[in-house]
């Protein structure tokens, strides 16, 4: 009952998707995020490009509260597909962290990892070169209860630290950037595709650097949380950042309700890869859609329709 009450309380605004074709067997609602966010834009491109070529289904894009809300919406059958962070879906499937009070959700399956959302630890203090240097510093760890906050806890833990070792500030990306600019905080955890607008703007007025994670601690982090993937932020991503920075990413991932048919998910995934060029033309994030990365960092079982497609491509998944 708690899950249903939470999900029903969510406010939805439905965006116009392409009309269901006469041949479509399933009209699938795709949960995304806020109307100004990347998830919503990516979902809109999917519906525009894929609806004309799908025969077993059509997509209707819905604006939602993003990852956690999308999983709840699938659970109460208000959404059929959704874009979520792979760490958040892991918490949902295992009933941990963000979902510890509610318990596990097992009504959804993985379809494909789409693109990286990178853990960026941003500072204007040149003395902070590694995560260990954050000890005793004032650090923004994202909004309270957010996925970013859990990312920060997990990374600190890999370095033998807790929130007790830093002065914790909870703030949005924009507010974190402003606080860095004003010298109110020493560093900030920001989880988003790089470059991130808030950091781009900060780098035009302040000299910034990116705190790196080393291979040893990345390996330790991945032992406990296999949804993390090692990532390099290229030099030049931000003004004044002249060297590559090693860090980790979580992945924006397409999931499906277990009630969606195998045929519909198979056709959808095949259409995404067959029409990748058109998807890329609609949104640059689709440049990162490829077979190898689509199954990377996924710790929730794949939908049978997705598993069938990957196996035809020579990739075995659970």
State pLDDT tens for residues 180-209.
999 999 999 998 888 888 899 999 999 999
Whether 230 and 218 have beta carbons less than 8 Å apart is answered as: yes
In this predicted structure, the answer to whether residue 230 has a pLDDT above a threshold of 50 is yes
CA–CA dist 135, 17 (Å, integer): 48
In this predicted structure, the answer to whether residue 127 has a pLDDT above a threshold of 70 is yes
State pLDDT tens for residues 243-282.
999 999 999 999 999 999 999 999 999 999 999 999 999 9
pLDDT at res. 3: 55
pLDDT at res. 297: 87
Whether 140 and 179 have beta carbons less than 8 Å apart is answered as: yes
232 vs 23, which has greater pLDDT?
A: 232
15-52 b/e (C-beta count within 10 Å ≥ 16 → b): eebbebeeebebebbbbbbeeeebbbbbbbbbbbbbbe
Least confident of 25-34, 99-108, 216-225: 25-34
pLDDT at res. 222: 94
pLDDT at res. 143: 85
List the structure tokens of 165.
Answer: 């070792």
CA–CA dist 124, 180 (Å, integer): 7
In this predicted structure, the answer to whether residue 23 has a pLDDT above a threshold of 60 is no
Q: How far is CA 53 from CA 7, 49, 50, 135, 279, in A?
A: 32, 8, 5, 54, 13
Q: What are phi and psi of 125, to 5 degrees?
A: -105, 110
pLDDT at res. 318: 80
Domains along the sequence of the chain with CATH:
2-114+251-312 (3.40.190.10), 117-246 (3.40.190.10)
CA–CA dist 36, 276 (Å, integer): 23
pLDDT at res. 285: 93
In this predicted structure, the answer to whether residue 215 has a pLDDT above a threshold of 50 is yes
Whether 212 and 235 have beta carbons less than 8 Å apart is answered as: no
* Mean pLDDT score of the chain: 90
């Amino acid at each position: 009952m708690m899950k249903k009450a939470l999900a029903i309380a969510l406010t939805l605004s439905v965006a116009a998707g392409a009309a269901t074709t006469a041949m479509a067997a399933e009209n699938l609602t795709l949960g995304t995020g806020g109307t100004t966010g990347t998830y919503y834009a990516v979902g809109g491109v999917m519906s525009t490009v894929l609806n004309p070529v799908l025969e077993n289904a059509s997509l209707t894009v819905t604006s939602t509260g993003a990852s956690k809300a999308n999983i709840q919406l699938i659970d109460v059958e208000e959404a059929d597909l959704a874009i979520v962070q792979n760490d958040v879906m892991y918490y949902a499937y295992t009933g941990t962290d963000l979902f510890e009070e509610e318990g596990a959700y097992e009504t959804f399956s993985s379809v494909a990892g789409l693109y990286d959302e990178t853990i960026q630890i941003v500072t204007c203090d040149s003395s902070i070169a590694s995560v260990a240097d954050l000890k005793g510093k004032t650090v923004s760890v994202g909004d309270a209860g957010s996925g970013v906050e859990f990312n920060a806890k997990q990374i600190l833990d890999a370095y033998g630290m807790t929130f007790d070792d830093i002065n914790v500030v909870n703030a949005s990306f924009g507010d974190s950037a402003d606080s860095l600019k004003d010298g109110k905080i020493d560093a900030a955890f920001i989880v988003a595709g790089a470059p991130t607008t808030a950091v781009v703007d900060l780098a035009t007025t302040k000299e910034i650097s990116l705190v790196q994670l080393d291979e040893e601690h990345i390996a330790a982090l991945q032992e406990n949380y296999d949804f993390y993937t090692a990532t390099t932020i290229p030099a030049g991503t931000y003004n004044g950042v002249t060297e590559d920075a090693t860090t980790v990413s979580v992945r924006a991932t397409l999931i499906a309700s277990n009630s969606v048919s195998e045929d519909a998910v198979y056709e959808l995934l095949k259409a995404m890869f067959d029409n990748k060029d058109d998807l890329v033309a609609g949104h640059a994030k689709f440049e990162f859609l490829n077979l190898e990365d689509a199954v990377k960092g996924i710790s929730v079982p794949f939908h049978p329709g997705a598993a069938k497609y990957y196996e035809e491509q020579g990739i075995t998944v659970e």
